[in-house]
Amino acid sequence: DAKTTQPNSMESNEEEPVHLPCNHSTISGTDYIHWYRQLPSQGPEYVIHGLTSNVNNRMASLAIAEDRKSSTLILHRATLRDAAVYYCILRDSRLSNFGNEKLTFGTGTRLTIIP
């Protein structure tokens, strides 16, 4: 399984942008890049995903390197409610019709927001 590497922790000031990096040097051409976050005492929450092009939604932006070996989750203006563990995950789209893929969650990046 393709693996991802993330920093264990990051800090950011409130109301400033946050760039969360993820390395996935062994990514295959059929792997989607997913990001989830987990707030304290809650289940993981879907944030965004992409394949090759940069993606934007109401929660965040996903910037994908041209060679796809790394990506960055961008929170444009961090709030205290964004303090969470952020997971970068690869999902093989070839398994979409079988459901037998497993999301491999690593230990993620613990994001602390400083008021």
| Contact set with other proteins (CB under 8 A) | 32, 34, 36, 41-46, 49, 51, 87, 91, 93, 96, 98-100, 102-108
List Cα–Cα distances, 25 to 39, 73, 74, 115, in angstroms. 27, 16, 20, 34
The nearer residue to other proteins, 108 or 113, going by C-beta atoms, is 108
The nearer residue to other proteins, 39 or 114, going by C-beta atoms, is 39
Task: Give the nearest distance from C-beta 43 to other proteins in angstroms.
Answer: 3
Give the residues across from 33 on adjacent strands.
50, 90
CA distance 56 to 74: 9
Rounded CA Rg of the chain: 14
The nearer residue to other proteins, 83 or 88, going by C-beta atoms, is 88
Task: Give the nearest distance from C-beta 20 to other proteins in angstroms.
Answer: 16
Task: Give the nearest distance from C-beta 99 to other proteins in angstroms.
Answer: 4
